[in-house]
């Protein structure tokens, strides 16, 4: 196919944002225009990416829709392409962004035009991360996302927004500068930063792998976030506006998981093998510790933020089991966490818009006033704790199957996370929805409006759909994951043989 569909999907939101930027005056009419432009671009982008999914060939593990243009002459090419793993993340991004835009239009009153611009730029950068097949291009998109996110947290955030925005920015930046050094080192060691070259043809010498792996790890561990680098996340989530939290939880965290799968395992098999115990240790601590912390939270957003850290702990366990079930499980877990955490943050946003409090104690008895909200919130609570029939279950069970093959202790400890999740989520639900109405503020609360129902029910539909029928997801990633593991094992034996010599 000659039409550069990946570039179109990536840069369409940017073009939309330029249009909004050019709308100069701030009358109601022009703000409405800005809203239409944002909704239109993001939905067209969703359609484009669905079209991309349908024309994607699931019978091959090769990268597809490859675009290759000269970029920095003599050094790097601008290379785009997708395989079964990345296409799902692109779909997740293009699916979540329009919902975010709708929720922004529904609830944000101040400087809405700038918010829409930031969201659309963010979408471009996020899709770019998943499309890029060159390490430098990847870095460009990966790091560029900091700018709009910093502004989203800082301008539209809560009372401690400045502190959180700075913490988010500086933590992530510090993590990624080492990634930059590693990328440049790879270029000088192997002479290329082209991912296809690096994955298939070039082996990075063993002695370099450990340090390079650690450099990549430092970036992804901060972004994911893994314990003990997670402290920016609760702050950022609590202070960010709803749409910011959604983007952060649903997509930004997934960039790191994707990075682990694509780069850490793909490029450094020996080091990945070597550092697996470290990852398991940190993930288990993350699962158990942050679940316990989540139990004690009084702030709803903070609770969900900590639960995200725990869920991401599952993801890293799954990735580094390096079994087919584990990897597929963690990809599905990431997609489903993208849907569920987005929905949970939107749910919190709904009541926050009305009551302006995120404290659990200021709620209670919502079921009497807002029954629709109670139902929707219940679906996502159950999905978050991994009830069978929701997509959360599929991911977790696959990860645990993978973990049991590799290390029973890890699997047992990880399973405890499922129980903790049930504890904190159900307790949260009980305190917010059931009980008596104690807070007089709640009397004037009203139930979900049409936009909110549309946003939340579309998320609920996908959560349940993939819970009952995960086949479309599994079919898409199946061959790519098998190929990844095959490559990994081949490389590992190659290095072992080399060491034996």
| Site for another protein, rule CB under 8 A | 70-75, 136, 139-141, 143-144, 146-147, 150-151, 154-155, 161-162, 165-166, 169-170, 173-174, 177-178, 180-181, 184-185, 187-188
Nearest distance, CB of residue 145 and another protein, angstroms? 10
| Residue with Cβ nearer another protein (168 or 258) | 168
| Residue with Cβ nearer another protein (22 or 499) | 22
| Residue with Cβ nearer another protein (106 or 124) | 124
Nearest distance, CB of residue 71 and another protein, angstroms? 7
Q: What is the distance between the alpha carbons of residues 122 and 118, in angstroms, rounded to a whole number?
A: 6
| Residue with Cβ nearer another protein (71 or 469) | 71
Q: What is the distance between the alpha carbons of residues 167 and 272, in angstroms, rounded to a whole number?
A: 29
- Residue 26 Cα distances to 20, 114, 152, angstroms: 11, 11, 20
| Residue with Cβ nearer another protein (12 or 376) | 12
Nearest distance, CB of residue 183 and another protein, angstroms? 10
| Residue with Cβ nearer another protein (19 or 427) | 19
Nearest distance, CB of residue 77 and another protein, angstroms? 11
- Residue 134 Cα distances to 97, 204, 212, 223, angstroms: 25, 16, 16, 20
- Residue 6 Cα distances to 50, 91, 195, 207, angstroms: 12, 12, 16, 36
Cα torsion angle, 115, 116, 117, 121, sign: positive
| Residue with Cβ nearer another protein (145 or 349) | 145
Q: What is the distance between the alpha carbons of residues 176 and 112, in angstroms, rounded to a whole number?
A: 30
Closest Cα to residue 395, out of 484, 481, 328, 308? 328
| Residue with Cβ nearer another protein (218 or 321) | 218
Nearest distance, CB of residue 422 and another protein, angstroms? 39
Nearest distance, CB of residue 150 and another protein, angstroms? 7
Nearest distance, CB of residue 377 and another protein, angstroms? 32
Are the beta carbons of 354 and 448 closer than 8 angstroms? no
Q: What is the distance between the alpha carbons of residues 108 and 117, in angstroms, rounded to a whole number?
A: 14
Q: Which residues contact 117 (CB under 8 A, 6 or more apart)?
A: 17, 20, 21
Nearest distance, CB of residue 177 and another protein, angstroms? 4
Nearest distance, CB of residue 45 and another protein, angstroms? 20
Nearest distance, CB of residue 147 and another protein, angstroms? 6
Nearest distance, CB of residue 399 and another protein, angstroms? 33
Closest Cα to residue 470, out of 481, 478, 482, 459? 478
| Residue with Cβ nearer another protein (189 or 200) | 189
Supply the DSSP string of 72-121, one letter for each residue.
ETTTEEEEEEE-HHHHHHHHHHHHHHHHHHHHHHHH--SSHHHHHHHHHH
Q: What is the distance between the alpha carbons of residues 439 and 494, in angstroms, rounded to a whole number?
A: 66
Residue with tokens 């192997």, as numbered in its chain: 190
Helices (H), 240-323: 242-247, 253-259, 266-267, 269-295, 300-321
Phi, psi of 431, deg, nearest 5? -70, -30
Nearest distance, CB of residue 116 and another protein, angstroms? 14
The token duo for 194 is 């082209």
Q: What is the distance between the alpha carbons of residues 89 and 329, in angstroms, rounded to a whole number?
A: 14
| Residue with Cβ nearer another protein (211 or 437) | 211
Nearest distance, CB of residue 11 and another protein, angstroms? 11
DSSP classification of residue 443:
G
Q: What is the distance between the alpha carbons of residues 274 and 272, in angstroms, rounded to a whole number?
A: 5
| Residue with Cβ nearer another protein (179 or 477) | 179
| Residue with Cβ nearer another protein (19 or 53) | 19
| Residue with Cβ nearer another protein (141 or 380) | 141
Closest Cα to residue 373, out of 393, 354, 392? 354
Are the beta carbons of 133 and 6 closer than 8 angstroms? no
């Amino acid at each position: 196919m000659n039409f550069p569909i990946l570039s179109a999907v990536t840069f369409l939101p940017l073009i939309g944002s330029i249009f909004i930027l050019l709308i100069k005056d701030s009358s109601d009419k022009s703000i409405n225009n800005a809203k239409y432009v944002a909704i239109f671009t993001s939905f067209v982008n969703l359609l484009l990416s669905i079209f991309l999914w349908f024309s994607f060939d699931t019978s091959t593990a090769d990268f597809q829709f490859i675009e290759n243009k000269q970029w920095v002459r003599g050094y790097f090419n601008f290379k785009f392409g997708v395989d079964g793993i990345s296409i799902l993340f692109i779909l997740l991004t293009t699916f979540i962004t329009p919902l975010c835009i709708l929720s922004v239009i529904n609830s944000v009153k101040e400087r809405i035009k700038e918010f829409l611009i930031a969201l659309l730029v963010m979408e471009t950068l996020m899709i770019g991360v998943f499309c890029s097949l060159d390490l430098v291009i990847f870095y460009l998109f990966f790091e560029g996302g900091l700018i709009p996110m910093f502004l989203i947290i800082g301008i539209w955030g809560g009372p401690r927004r400045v502190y959180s925005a700075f913490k988010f920015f500086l933590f992530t930046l510090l993590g990624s500068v080492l990634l930059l050094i590693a990328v440049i080192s790879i270029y000088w060691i192997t002479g290329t930063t082209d991912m296809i070259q690096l994955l298939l043809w070039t082996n990075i010498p063993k002695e370099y792998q450990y340090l390079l792996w650690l450099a990549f790890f430092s970036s992804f561990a901060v972004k994911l976030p893994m314990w003990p680098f997670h402290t920016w996340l609760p702050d950022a989530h609590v202070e960010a506006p709803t749409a910011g939290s959604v983007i952060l939880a649903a997509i930004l965290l997934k960039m790191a998981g994707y990075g682990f799968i694509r780069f850490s395992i793909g490029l450094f098999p020996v080091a990945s093998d070597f550092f697996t115990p470290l990852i398991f240790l940190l993930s288990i601590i993350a699962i158990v510790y942050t679940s316990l912390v989540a139990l004690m939270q009084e702030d709803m957003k903070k609770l969900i933020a900590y639960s995200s850290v725990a869920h991401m702990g599952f993801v890293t366990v799954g990735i580094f089991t390096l079994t087919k079930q584990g990897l597929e499980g963690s990809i599905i877990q990431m997609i489903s966490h993208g849907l569920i955490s987005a929905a949970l943050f939107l749910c919190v946003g709904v009541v926050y818009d009305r009551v302006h409090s995120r404290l659990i104690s200021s709620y209670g008895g919502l079921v009497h006033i807002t029954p629709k909200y109670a139902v929707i919130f219940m679906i996502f609570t159950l999905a978050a704790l991994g009830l069978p029939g929701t997509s959360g279950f599929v991911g977790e069970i696959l990860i645990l199957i993978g973990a049991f093959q590799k290390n029973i202790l890890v699997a047992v400890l990880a399973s405890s996370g499922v129980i903790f999740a049930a504890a904190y989520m159900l307790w949260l639900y009980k305190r917010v929805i059931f009980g008596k109405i104690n807070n007089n503020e709640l009397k004037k609360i009203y139930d979900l409006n049409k936009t909110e129902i549309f946003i939340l029910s579309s998320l609920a539909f996908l959560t349940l759909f993939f819970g009952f029928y995960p086949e479309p997801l599994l079919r898409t990633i199946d061959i790519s994951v098998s190929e990844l593991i095959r490559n990994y094992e081949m490389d590992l034996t190659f290095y072992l043989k080399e060491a034996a010599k």
